Structures are given as structure tokens and as C-alpha cells.
């Protein structure tokens, strides 16, 4: 893979920038304002799906003003090095918190086929939360195979492999402050 430098000065694979940092941040501020309004006075816990959701969660938390707890879950739906989910989702790390009677907001980097979020939704609903909503930064809508209700979506994006802002290319480039599209 050819490695270049972006106009922003970051080492990145050969790519185009799809969503600039300012645009990401502006949208996250809007999503946080919606979350503030929707969850005022409620016992909110944001659950981040590792590793891809971590940048999004931390920015979303920063802009959400109501009190809220956080917790993490790690799942694997890709084979090692693969770029499509296998359909078989495994929980690699479970929550530390009991979510029963809590208002849960599941925070994910991207929804593609919907298999990962569909599976996680079923797992979490079985634990009897007071409510469960889903917040995905990116939605590759045309790829959907499993219908999952989304409550908050950052951006609808085309059917292309994206990276940056938490999303990786073979575990690298999660640090980039923008969303890029591979051009190999
Ligand atoms: P799904 O189960 O097909 O919806 O895939 C969801 C998971 O696949 C996400 O949590 C991501 O980790 C990963 N994923 C899907 N599309 C991309 C992409 O374009 N770049 C990086 N990761 C992706
Ligand atoms: Mg993910």
C-alpha cells in the first residue's frame, strides 16, 4: 500500500479525504445536543464498541453536557485482516456494568451489513435496559442486510472502505482526525 502525507500532514494510505475534521466535529456537536435534549433527567450510559468507536465516543462525551456513565464492549466480526464482516459476531470483551433499568446508548463507528449492531442489540436487550438506542457515526446504507433501527446517525456514506477517526486499515490509521477513502 502506497503511503503518502495528507494536506493535514498525517501519514495515510493512498486515499481521498471523505469527511474533514471540522465537519466531523460540527456534526458530533449536533448529535450531542440531541442526546442532551433526549436524555435530560435520565440515567444514561453510553456503551462504546471497541476499537473503532473510541474516537467518536470521546468526542461525543466531550460535547454531551448531561451526566452519563460509559462502558466498553469489544466484538469481532471480521476475520483477521479481512474487510468484510463474516456474519459471525463474537464478544471479545464484555461490559463491566449491569445495564438493567438503565438508558443505554450504543455508540458505534460504522454500520455496514448491520450484522454487528443487530447482534449487539439482541444481546443488550436481553439484559433488560430501561431503553436501548443506537448512535452510529457512519451509515453505509446501501450495504444493509440486517435491518437495525438507528436513532442517531452522523453521516450516510457511499459503499466504499473508509478509515480514520477510529476506523482502521489493518489496525493502523485509527489516529487520523478525518475519514478517508482508500484509493489503491
Ligand atoms: P457490519 O457488521 O457489516 O455492519 O460491520 C460493522 C463493523 O465492520 C464496524 O463496526 C466496523 O468495525 C467494520 N467496518 C465496516 N465497514 C468498514 C469500513 O469501511 N472501514 C473500516 N471498518 C469497517
Ligand atoms: Mg467497529
Q: Does the active-site annotation cover 112?
A: yes
**pLDDT for 57:** 98
**10-residue mean pLDDT series, the chain (184 residues):** 84 93 98 98 97 97 98 81 71 97 98 95 98 98 96 97 96 97 87
Q: Which amino acid residue places its CA nearest to atom 19 of ligand 1?
A: 161
Residue 69 parent element (H or E): strand 68-78
Per-residue pLDDT, 15: 86
| Residue 44 cell numbers, joined | 444514561
> What is the pTM for the complete model shown?
0.94
Q: Which residues are in the CB-under-5-Å shell of ion ligand 2?
A: 52, 109
Is residue 182 domain-resident?
Answer: no
Cell for 129? Answer: 435496559
Q: Which domain holds residue 105?
A: 28-77+85-169
Q: Whose CA is nearest to atom 11 of ligand 1?
A: 110
pLDDT value of residue 83: 65
Q: What is residue 77's predicted lDDT score, i.e. its pLDDT?
A: 73
Distance CA 53, CA 134 (A): 12
Query: Does 96 map to a domain?
Result: yes
| Domain assignment present for 69 | yes
User: Domain for residue 126, yes or no?
Assistant: yes
Q: What is the dihedral of CA 159, 124, 105, 81, to 10 degrees?
A: -40
pLDDT of residue 3: 81
Alpha carbon of 129 to ligand 2 centroid (Å): 22
- Give the CATH number, domain containing residue 150: 3.40.50.2020
Give me ligand 2 centre to Cα 53, in Å.
Answer: 6
Q: Is residue 139 part of a domain?
A: yes
Radius of gyration of the chain (CA): 16
pLDDT of residue 79: 58
Q: What's the total number of domains in the chain?
A: 1
- Asked, for residue 181, whether it belongs to a domain, the answer is no
Q: Ligand 1 atom closest to Cα of 49?
A: 10
Which residue has the least CA distance to atom 3 on ligand 1? 113
Report if residue 20 sits inside a domain. no
Q: What is the pLDDT of residue 16?
A: 93
CB-ligand 1 contact for 60 (6 Å cutoff) = no
Amino acid at each position: 500500500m502506497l503511503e503518502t502525507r495528507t494536506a493535514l500532514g498525517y501519514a495515510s494510505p493512498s486515499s481521498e479525504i471523505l469527511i474533514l475534521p471540522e465537519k466531523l466535529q460540527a456534526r458530533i456537536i449536533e448529535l450531542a445536543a440531541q442526546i442532551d435534549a433526549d436524555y435530560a433527567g435520565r440515567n444514561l450510559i453510553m456503551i462504546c464498541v471497541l476499537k473503532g468507536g473510541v474516537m467518536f465516543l470521546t468526542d461525543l462525551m466531550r460535547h454531551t453536557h448531561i451526566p452519563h456513565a460509559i462502558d466498553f464492549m469489544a466484538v469481532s466480526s471480521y476475520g483477521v485482516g479481512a474487510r468484510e464482516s463474516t456474519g459471525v459476531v463474537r464478544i471479545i470483551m464484555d461490559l463491566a456494568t449491569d445495564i438493567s433499568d438503565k438508558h443505554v446508548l450504543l455508540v458505534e463507528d460504522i454500520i455496514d451489513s448491520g450484522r454487528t449492531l443487530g447482534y449487539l442489540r439482541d444481546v443488550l436487550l436481553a439484559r433488560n435496559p430501561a431503553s436501548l438506542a443506537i448512535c452510529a457515526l457512519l451509515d453505509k446504507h446501501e450495504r444493509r442486510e440486517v435491518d437495525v433501527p438507528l436513532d442517531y446517525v452522523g453521516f450516510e456514506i457511499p459503499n466504499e472502505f473508509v478509515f480514520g477517526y477510529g476506523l482502521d486499515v489493518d489496525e493502523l490509521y485509527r489516529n487520523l482526525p478525518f475519514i478517508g477513502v482508500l484509493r489503491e
